[in-house]
Amino acid sequence: TDTTPITIETSLPFTAHLCDPPSRSVESSSQELLDFFRTMALMRRMEIAADSLYKAKLIRGFCHLYDGQEAVAIGMEAAITKKDAIITAYRDHCIFLGRGGSLYEIFSELMGRQAGCSKGKGGSMHFYKKESSFYGGHGIVGAQVPLGCGIAFAQKYNKEEAVTFALYGDGAANQGQLFEALNISALWDLPAILVCENNHYGMGTAEWRASKSSSYYKRGDYVPGLKVDGMDAFAVKQACKFAKQHALEKGPIILEMDTYRYHGHSMSDPGSTYRTRDEISGVRQERDPIERIKKLVLSHDLATEKELKDMEKEIRKEVDDAIAKAKDCPMPEPSELFTNVYVKGYGTESFGPDRKEVKASLP
């Protein structure tokens, strides 16, 4: 692998609140650039495939796609280690992939199969990978932020020199529990990094209709913050590195990632009633996070257009294969209905809908 150092300038300067912003020059390597391209393209392809599976009724319920926001997942992952923890909301497929999860686990979970990362019991919104410090996958808007601060609490308690990134949306940014958790984190100097993925809409509500102040990086008041171009993976990487250092030394910090979701909020939302098609295509043309990396790859002569096309073909096949395999995977055993309710069930009885017909002794 080619690890020749490359320095890349972020597209935009950082805007800082109560801190000095990091440099715009980001250290990278040819390998990293190519990796960024590949992983982001994989994420994109995966989400598009999930869309099709949903339309084919193979995925049920809610399904929130991440396409458009890939640079956040990628840049964050590039700045940290697997000892650093991540927690997010329901838009969690790509974060899970970034933490080392496999396509097979993802598609199996989405289709409710045994091999799913939550054995089919969680569904789209509830992915986890504890071994690489990914704590989910949460369905209640805002709840993951105090939870993330709690993980940071444990890291500090255990003197682990690691930090936690708690991701939330611009809609979630108004949730009171976020302010409560921030105050406690600041009082206790927890290594918590609050990452506001500002994709400018919470479901169908534009940020300015939900937030009196949409300067999310400043909403911590007494907590420092940084506004970051969330469509630029290198800006994200730089900001996350900076934030990690800050969090370890001084406690919590907020990163506002200016980003965009191409899809509707979830599958029932066409995503086009509260914003114009022009707005969406404008972002695609001017700010697409993959295109940006692609241009860098080409301008640094790290690959040809052809090679990138081939890579994309490969990715497509990888995704198709994973889907095919997942489709073959069986649904969970009926007995799984009663597992994992508790770690220790003490052998007490649990019941199905007709308790005289279906009963289980909890392990």
Partner 1 sequence: KEMTVRDALNSAIDEEMSADPKVFVMGEEVGQYQGAYKITKGLLEKYGPERVYDTPITEAGFTGIGVGAAYAGLKPVVEFMTFNFSMQAIDHIINSAAKSNYMSAGQINVPIVFRGPNGAAAGVGAQHSQCYAAWYASVPGLKVLTPYSAEDARGLLKAAIRDPDPVVFLENELLYGESFPISEEALDSSFCLPIGKAKIEREGKDVTIVTFSKMVGFALKAAEKLAEEGISAEVINLRSIRPLDRATINASVRKTSRLVTVEEGFPQHGVCAEICASVVEESFSYLDAPVERIAGADVPMPYAANLERLALPQIEDIVRASKRACYRSK
Ligand X SMILES: Cc1ncc(C[n+]2csc(CCOP(=O)(O)OP(=O)(O)O)c2C)c(N)n1
Residues 247 to 286: which contact ligand X by CB under 6 A? Answer: 265
Nearest to 327 by CA among 45, 43, 57, 40: 57
Q: Are 19 and 256 in contact (CB under 8 A)?
A: no
- Measured in residues, the chain has a length of 363
Residues 54 to 83: which contact partner 1 by CB under 8 A? Answer: 59-62
- The DSSP secondary-structure symbol of 134 reads B
- The DSSP secondary-structure symbol of 221 reads T
Taking the least distance from each CB to a second copy, the nearer of 49 and 186 is 186
Strand partners for 205: 202
CB-based contacts of 197, cutoff 8 Å, min separation 6? 69, 72, 167, 168, 169, 170, 230, 257, 259
Minimal CB distance to ligand X: which residue? 169
DSSP line for 152-185: HHHHHHTT----EEEEEETTGGG-HHHHHHHHHH
Write the binding mask 205 to 224 for ligand X: x where contact by CB under 6 A, - elsewhere.
--------------------
Interacting residue with ligand X among 91, 93, 129, 237 (CB under 6 A): 91
Q: Is residue 171 involved in binding partner 1 (CB under 8 A)?
A: yes
Q: Are 294 and 272 in contact (CB under 8 A)?
A: no
Q: Is residue 199 involved in binding ligand X (CB under 6 A)?
A: yes
Strand partners for 86: 134, 165
Residues 232 to 251: which contact Mg ion by CB under 5 A? Answer: none
Residues 128 to 167: which contact partner 1 by CB under 8 A? Answer: 128-130, 135-143, 145-155, 157-158
For residue 139, the minimal CB distance to ligand X (Å) is: 5
For residue 192, the minimal CB distance to a second copy (Å) is: 13
Does an H or E element contain 187, and which? Answer: helix 176-187
For residue 254, the minimal CB distance to ligand X (Å) is: 14
Residues 149 to 178: which contact a second copy by CB under 8 A? Answer: 174-178
Q: Is residue 332 involved in binding partner 1 (CB under 8 A)?
A: yes
Q: Is residue 331 involved in binding partner 1 (CB under 8 A)?
A: yes
Taking the least distance from each CB to ligand X, the nearer of 108 and 175 is 175
Nearest to 165 by CA among 276, 106, 57, 246: 246
Residues 56 to 85: which contact ligand X by CB under 6 A? Answer: none
Structure tokens at 206: 């534009």
Q: Cβ–Cβ contacts within 10 Å for residue 352, how many?
A: 13
Q: Is residue 133 involved in binding a second copy (CB under 8 A)?
A: no
Tokens 């109560």 locate to 18
DSSP line for 38-73: HHHHHHHHHHHHHHHHHHTTSS-S-----TT-HHHH
Residues 212 to 271: which contact partner 1 by CB under 8 A? Answer: none
For residue 201, the minimal CB distance to Mg ion (Å) is: 5
Q: Is residue 140 involved in binding ligand X (CB under 6 A)?
A: yes
28, 11, 38, 107 alpha-carbon torsion, rounded to 10°: 120
- Please tell me the distance from the alpha carbon of residue 39 to that of residue 306, in angstroms, as a whole number: 18
Q: Which does 149 bind (CB under 5 to 8 A by kind): a second copy, Mg ion, partner 1, none?
A: partner 1
Pick the piece of the chain touching ligand X (CB under 6 A) from 108-116, 184-192, 200-208, 212-220.
200-208
Q: Is residue 332 involved in binding ligand X (CB under 6 A)?
A: no
Interacting residue with Mg ion among 10, 28, 155, 199 (CB under 5 A): 199
Which residues of the shown chain bind a second copy in the complex (CB under 8 A)? 174-180, 183, 186-187, 209-213, 218-219, 221-223
Which residues of the shown chain bind ligand X in the complex (CB under 6 A)? 91, 139-141, 168-172, 197, 199, 201-203, 265
